Amino acid sequence: MEKIIAKCGIRCDLCPAHEDNLTTDQDKEKMSQAFAEYYDYKLSPEDIKPCKGCNLLDMPPDGNCSVFFCVRDKQIPNCAHCNDFPCKNISDQMNAFDETMKKHPDIPQAEYEKFCKPYENRKTLQKIRDSLNT
């Protein structure tokens, strides 16, 4: 699968909730457990629905993502293309991920790849910005 990058820089193609990755009830159970452990976010397996990624939607999957609306209104592919990068909206999201990683420095590599790497949006957006400036 080719890279699918959300408006905020999340790698949808790697995300455990992406429709290509979320195929069994066991996938939902593992995602629920990982999000509770690493992100302190309680989400029951029954509430986890396959996601297409926000780039294919008219509304964000969670219904109220400020980054989604900002990027859509500016008619740019993602935050990396914005002159205001990094603004408060995306900085809050990136900082929250960084704080989570500081709290959990010993995540097993396989768990990191599946439940953390997709959300390295600071790294993803910076790579895109660097490529735009070359």
Least confident of 2-11, 46-55, 57-66, 91-100: 57-66
Q: Does position 75 have pLDDT exceeding 90, yes or no?
A: yes
23-45, pLDDT tens digit by residue?
999 999 999 999 999 988 898 99
Taking alpha carbons only, the member of 108, 112, 129 closest to residue 120 is 112
Domain map (residue ranges) of the chain: 25-132
Q: What is the pLDDT of residue 1?
A: 66
- Distance from first CA to last CA of the chain, Å, rounded? 26
Which of 16, 36, 14, 12 has its CA nearest to residue 26? 16
Least confident of 59-63, 70-74, 116-120: 59-63
Vertex 110 angle, CA 105 and 116, to 5°:
55
- Looking at every residue in the chain, the average pLDDT score rounds to 90
Confidence check: pLDDT of 66 > 90 = no
pLDDT at 121 over 80: yes
